[in-house]
Amino acid sequence: MAPVFVTAGGTAPTPVAAIQPAFNLIDYVVPALGGLSCSWRVGPAVTNPLLDPVDFDWAYVSVKVVPGGADSWAPYTVGDDALSFGDGPSDTAMTIGGIEAATGCGYDTGCFISAPVGDAWVEIVLSTNWIQRDGWYFSGLTPDAILAQMQPLAASVFTALTDAQPGQFVWPTVDLVEHESDCTRAVGSEGIATALGVDSLEYEVRSPPNGLTYFENYVAQRAGVFQCDVDAAGVPVDLIAAGVLGTSVTVGYDLAGLVDTVVSTPDSQALPTIALKGAVEGDHAVQMCSDVTPFCVVIFSLGQSAYQVASNSDTVAIAEAIIAHTR
């Protein structure tokens, strides 16, 4: 069942199947866990998630199902900031198809319906150009009205999962091997230090990566994804300003296939691809950059693994240093 996006004016364009481009590797991980990830779009495609032009009038809705996640399910709270929608926590209960779900809307989270269904964790998220305060896709609609539009889709998903026979919903999975969260071993330090213009560096390991929702945390933990933050202690102020501070590398062992999906699926295939020194046939890389700061993100595959480099410095040089270290 495809979702219905109805504007305040009553128009309802036909949605198309598409993956919303993302600069966070975790956003692509669910299928590797034997889960289901489906999404649709109305309006123009997003071509770079680090660009947010105010005249882009788009909306995406995604459905993600992670088998075995129900026991770990937890509602999360929408941030109490000026850009949040609605008042209060996101764990406001709503009963849909006999399932009690958490719902809410926030600038960072989008509008969502989240619930444990059977043995699965189900997350349904609608995102749009929240920056565009006037003339955005859902301009004139309240958060409750947006959530009401999402309920029929949620009900159909919940019913399908509840009525499923054992083994009926079985999706491909990736054979993930447990690895130690060792940043120096995973990405090296000498080459990245050279790329950043420092003599040496240390890492702070975050497992799972920081800044994630409860659902994203769970997905990252299941997949063994971890983040290596460059420790800028003792780094000269001029080098901090040049981008050393805030540099991180996210490591996803055995997840190279996710990058194949990124470069081959609408709309994520519109992300700018780049050629990295040391890459071989079958490796892929995309780069996203802000148009107002030096911040860039590179997501790339290397052998069987996937990496994400985020920095205000030279992300390409950092990625190539990781390739040189690994190969």
What tokens does 265 get?
């699926």
- Burial of residue 35 (CB within 10 Å: 0-12, 13-18, 19+) is buried
SS3 letters for 146-180? HHHHHHHHHHHHHHHHHHCCCCCCCCCCCCCCCCC
Residue 107 and residue 78: Cα distance in Å, rounded? Answer: 8
pLDDT in tens, 229-258: 887 555 544 444 444 557 899 999 999 999
Q: What is the mean pLDDT of residues 19-31?
A: 93
pLDDT value at residue 88: 39
Residue 114 and residue 139: Cα distance in Å, rounded? Answer: 24
Query: Is the model's pLDDT at 87 over the cut of 60?
Result: no
Radius of gyration of the chain, Cα coordinates, nearest whole angstrom: 20
Residue 292, phi then psi, degrees to nearest 5? -125, -10
Pairing outcome for strands 296-302 and 305-311 = antiparallel
Let me know: does 284 contact 262? Beta carbons within 8 Å.
yes
Which of 18-22, 117-121, 169-173, 256-260 is predicted least confidently? Answer: 169-173
pLDDT value at residue 89: 44
Buried b (16+ CB within 10 A) or exposed e, 54-74: eebbbbbbbbbbbbebeeebe
Query: Is the model's pLDDT at 18 over the cut of 60?
Result: yes
Residue 213 and residue 82: Cα distance in Å, rounded? Answer: 19
Q: Between these two residues, 326 and 2, which has the higher pLDDT value?
A: 326
pTM: 0.88
**CA nearest to 46, candidates 127, 105, 134:** 127
| Angle at alpha carbon of residue 310, lines to 208 and 20, rounded to 5° | 80
**CA nearest to 25, candidates 169, 211, 193:** 211
Let me know: does 298 contact 286? Beta carbons within 8 Å.
yes
Let me know: does 111 contact 125? Beta carbons within 8 Å.
yes
Residue 75 and residue 102: Cα distance in Å, rounded? Answer: 6
Tell me which range, 36-50, 135-149, 150-164, 167-181, is most confidently predicted by mean pLDDT: 150-164
Phi-psi region of 135 (alpha: psi -120 to 50; beta: other; left: phi over 0): left
**CA nearest to 60, candidates 294, 268, 207, 205:** 268
pLDDT in tens, 215-231: 888 999 999 999 998 87
Residue 289 and residue 293: Cα distance in Å, rounded? Answer: 8
DSSP alpha helices (H): ranges in 85-213? 143-163, 183-187, 190-196
How confident is residue 29, by pLDDT bands cut at 50, 70 and 90? very high
